[in-house]
Structure 1
Amino acid sequence: MRQLSFDDRLRSNTQQLRTKRRNLVWPAIRKRLKTHRRFICFFLSFASIALAAGIWLSQPGTISKVNNEFNSNVKTLSINFGLKVNNVYSEGRSKTSIPDLLEAIGIQRGDPILNFDAESAKDRVESLGWVKSAQITRKLPDNIHIKIIERRPFALWQNEGKIVLIDREGSVINDALTDVYSHLPIIVGKNARETAPILFQTIAEEPYLYERVVAAVRIGNRRWDIIFEGGIRVYLPEINMSKAWSRLASANLENNFFDSDVKVIDLRFPDRMILRINTNKIDNEKTT
């Protein structure tokens, strides 16, 4: 006979709790292990397929073959469903020639519209001299829409004996139409085209003066000389060019330099304006 005690009762309760917990925990563990085994099997299967596909695609000519087959299927699908280019519409075109635009698009009537790469065509169109920006979209089933913004001629750039047309940002537009735009000012000098945008912004602030500008010469890659009609030459400063240009406009309202004997206007000093007179003209007038 075994003597009972409170310790025996505690041991009995503890064993019952352990058995109960074991009955609750093990099914959950077995279920989780089963799920993990399924995931591992799926992962190994996927990895095997990916490895096999990688080995297959690494074979010479495989990717090209797949791409050709895909393009062929797209072409067949486009033809069967009538998805062929029939019309090309343009918006904003004025100076850009139609043949150049169509050549840049690189598509012919009857080509599968699904094969048309609008982004590549956009890059080619924007490489045309007159085109500043372009938007190209496909309009199913058979239309291509082109919207372009053209550059505006602002000056002629003389470089190494060649004259080309440029816009206000200094971008080259064309080298074949300089006679048509011979009324525009000419810029010359080292890095003249690259630094021209700041100059153009400055001289455009005073339209009355800008209309009389014949040429702009880059001096020492530091500053500009402006030559007006009639031969007046203005020395602009290296810094605060816009302020000096405004001073010239104000002084001209009072003195009308374009109807005077002034030959040179030196604006390089912020506190004064130096004028040089055409003495030859004065001497000739005295002689007559």
Structure 2
Amino acid sequence: MDEGSRQGFVLPKLLRRPARFAGRLVKGEVNPPRYANAIATSLLIGSSLLYGTIQGGHGPDVVKALTSRSGFAVDQVHVAGNHETSEIDILDQLEFDGWTSLVGFNVDSARERIASLPWIEKASVRKIYPSTVEVNVIEREPFAIWQHGTTLTVVKRSGEQITEYTGRAKAKLPLIVGEGAPEHAAEFVSMVAADFPDIANRVRGYVRIGDRRWNLYLDNNVVVKLPEYDAKDALAKISQMESESGVLGRDILSVDLRLADRVVVQLTPEAADARQKAIEEEDKAARKRKRETRA
């Protein structure tokens, strides 16, 4: 019985042969294989380097360096679906440095960065081995330009803001103005365009008043004041007046439709003066005719 057995300790079966070999090696009973010291030293240095790399957080860099030099460096990027977003902005979000390896490239992080761009609604990023990245995006659909204060912002139908308006590219979008306009504009603007296209074609701005009702600013600076409720009925009334008498093309400042039983038309100062003079002339002529009748 060996010493370990006499003391009540027995090595596991798998370790007994290596233990006996190690004992014989220490006693000089076994000659080590050729280059054993060099191999052991290499293993020790390699394991130390691997441990230091992992502990220092340099593993991804090592993998990147090895794989990029083995034919897996990204050298092609295909971008599709972008119209408002420049391809350069999308490429910037991929964060390639010229040695980026497809093996260690994180598509989830890249997708999140691309989706953070103002116009991007959704994004997908796919790796195509050995060296290609494919990016597909769906952009937000602009609905109107919202003026709040001195700021112009492009918004979606839902009222969600997309980005600041900076150019003429979206000049044909409806202009909506005032607090609460983005949240209520979609249904109202669509109704005007569908049911009263002649009026819609002349509207230059839809102005939200007190977040309760709308004013329409036309291309000749006439303001159509709509009621809080039954705006469609009011528009039908002014549409009929326009077809019968061309009221919106006259010398007026505004048409007030807020009262259900009447239409109030405000004349321009020039038209008001002309009307006043006409009334005075008519009154003068009436008095003259009355005097002549008495005589």
TM-score, length basis structure 2 = 0.59
Asked if 1 retains the 8 angstrom alpha-carbon contact of 2:65 and 2:99, the reply is no
Equivalent in 195, 205, 221 of residue 231 of structure 1? 221
Taking the aligned partners of 1:120 and 1:243, their CA distance within structure 2 comes to 52
Q: Does 1:282 align with 2:268?
A: no
Taking the aligned partners of 1:242 and 1:135, their CA distance within structure 2 comes to 43
3-state DSSP class of the match of 2:154? strand
Structure 1: unaligned runs, 5 residues or longer? 1-64
Taking the aligned partners of 2:227 and 2:55, their CA distance within structure 1 comes to 64
For residue 161 of structure 1, what is the aligned residue in structure 2? 150
Equivalent in 138, 142, 145 of residue 127 of structure 2? 138
Tell me the CA shift for residue 243 of structure 1.
5.8
Taking the aligned partners of 2:115 and 2:91, their CA distance within structure 1 comes to 13
Taking the aligned partners of 1:67 and 1:254, their CA distance within structure 2 comes to 83
Structure 2: unaligned runs, 5 residues or longer? 1-53, 279-295
Q: How many pairs are equivalent?
A: 225
Asked if 2 retains the 8 angstrom alpha-carbon contact of 1:202 and 1:241, the reply is no
Asked if 1 retains the 8 angstrom alpha-carbon contact of 2:205 and 2:218, the reply is yes
For residue 68 of structure 2, what is the aligned residue in structure 1? 79
Distance 1:221 1:254, change over 3 A: same
RMSD: 3.7
Taking the aligned partners of 2:97 and 2:236, their CA distance within structure 1 comes to 54
For residue 31 of structure 1, what is the aligned residue in structure 2? none
Q: Residue type matched to 1:97 in 2?
A: S
Taking the aligned partners of 2:231 and 2:174, their CA distance within structure 1 comes to 18
Tell me the CA shift for residue 167 of structure 1.
4.0
Tell me the CA shift for residue 111 of structure 1.
0.9
Tell me the CA shift for residue 245 of structure 1.
4.6
Asked if 2 retains the 8 angstrom alpha-carbon contact of 1:224 and 1:237, the reply is yes
For residue 103 of structure 1, what is the aligned residue in structure 2? 92
Taking the aligned partners of 2:266 and 2:218, their CA distance within structure 1 comes to 15
Identity over aligned residues, as a percent? 27
Tell me the CA shift for residue 89 of structure 1.
1.3
Tell me the CA shift for residue 220 of structure 1.
1.4
3-state DSSP class of the match of 2:228? coil
TM-score, length basis structure 1 = 0.61
For residue 198 of structure 2, what is the aligned residue in structure 1? 208
